[in-house]
Amino acid sequence: MRKIAELSQVLVAGLMVAGAPLAGQDATSRGEEIVREVERRSRGYGDLEAGLVMRILEGDRERIREMHVRGLESEDGNRTRMTLEQPADMAGTEFLSALEDDGERHQWIYLPAARRVRRISGARSSDSFLGSHFTYDDMTPPKVEGFTYRWIRDEEISGQPGAIVERTSLDDRTEYPRQLLWIETERYVLRRIEFFTSEGEHRRSLDLEQYLEIGEFWLAGRMTMVHLEDSARTILEWSDMRVGVGLSARDFEPSRLGR
């Protein structure tokens, strides 16, 4: 259950970007500059509200999670509140996740049957998110300083100017230390990430599509994470996204869960 609580520190923050061009230098500094620009443009949305459908596909089997998501960006960090609507037996269950700027996570859960709010422990970054093929690492915007970068080449992406950047984690405990990023350099939006193990094996791919312009931000309306070994995948789809809806810190207090 606690896994659900992290929902989208980045389902919110990491996918929202807008754009203008950059100048280029050597491969390292150009790669980092592109990623910094993506990161810079992912902040400042304030608050948002949206519906989210998660489809987990494994062979012939499909599992669906539906939830209502509220997010708040503040000086102290990001807060996300999720209300589950599906599966049916979990309807009304709420999760509140607070990610402080220093990286510390706080999480609470509200169970309608008990009508009680309880703090739960923070998830490990490599844990599966909601039983899906996303991990908490995938759902949290990584700090730019946590990687080294290398610009590989410029390449057209879906008819738009773009670049491919390699990033390598400075944390040797990371499951996928090497990643290749496909970035549209018109809007500075991520279009694809390929994940490699420390042995260099390409294990997973994340595709980001159906970008929607909401206010001054761009939102990936659809994200697909594919496990290459068995072709199992998870698809995240946003709906009814609204930013600047007037949510405040009080809406993200644990005592507000269930109301």
Partner 1 sequence: MILRRLTVWVAVLATCNVSEGLAAQANRIQVDGVRFSGTSAEAVTVPYIMIGAGHRDSMFGGSIDLSGSIQLDVQAIDASLVNIEELTFNYSAGPLDFRIGVGDVSWGLSDVRSPVDAMAPRAVFFDAYNGARLGQPLLGLSAFSQWGDLEAVIFPFPRSPHMGGRLKRTWNGSSVRSDLGWGERPVGGLRMARILGSTDIALSYVHGGERTLWISSDRPGEAGVVIPSLRQAGVELQRALGSVVLRTEGSLAKRDGDTEARIVAGAEWYPKPYLTLMVEQGLSSLNRAQASPLVDDIMLGGQLVTEEIRFSNLVFIDPKSGNRHYFVETRWTPTARTAIEVELITWAGDATQEPGLALRQRNVLRASLLRYF
Contact segment (CB under 8 A) with partner 1 among 148-156, 206-214, 232-240, 248-256 equals 248-256
Residue 223 CA: distances (Å) to CA of 3, 8, 42, 82, 193: 19, 12, 16, 18, 11
Per DSSP, what are the bridge partners of residue 213?
218
Q: Does 245 bind partner 1 (CB under 8 A)?
A: no
Nearer to partner 1, 50 or 190 (CB): 50
Instruction: List the one residue from 20, 29, 92, 242 that touches partner 1 (CB under 8 A).
Output: 92
Instruction: List the one residue from 86, 168, 197, 205 that touches partner 1 (CB under 8 A).
Output: 86
Q: Does 90 bind partner 1 (CB under 8 A)?
A: yes
Rounded Cα distance, 199 and 176, in Å: 9
> What's the alpha-carbon Rg for the chain, to the nearest Å?
18
- Name the residue type at position 124: R
Rounded Cα distance, 14 and 30, in Å: 20
Nearer to partner 1, 21 or 112 (CB): 112
Rounded Cα distance, 197 and 165, in Å: 17
Rounded Cα distance, 184 and 206, in Å: 15
Site string for partner 1, 15-54 (x = CB under 8 A): ----------------------------------------
Contact segment (CB under 8 A) with partner 1 among 12-20, 37-45, 79-87, 186-194 equals 79-87
DSSP letters of 29-45? Answer: HHHHHHHHHHHHTT---
Structure tokens at 133: 């093929």
Instruction: List the one residue from 55, 106, 150, 203 that touches partner 1 (CB under 8 A).
Output: 106
Tell the smallest beta-carbon distance from residue 189 to partner 1 (Å): 31
Given the rule CB under 8 A, which residues bind partner 1? 1-3, 63-64, 68, 83, 85-92, 104, 106-107, 112-116, 118-124, 127-128, 131, 250, 253-255, 258-259
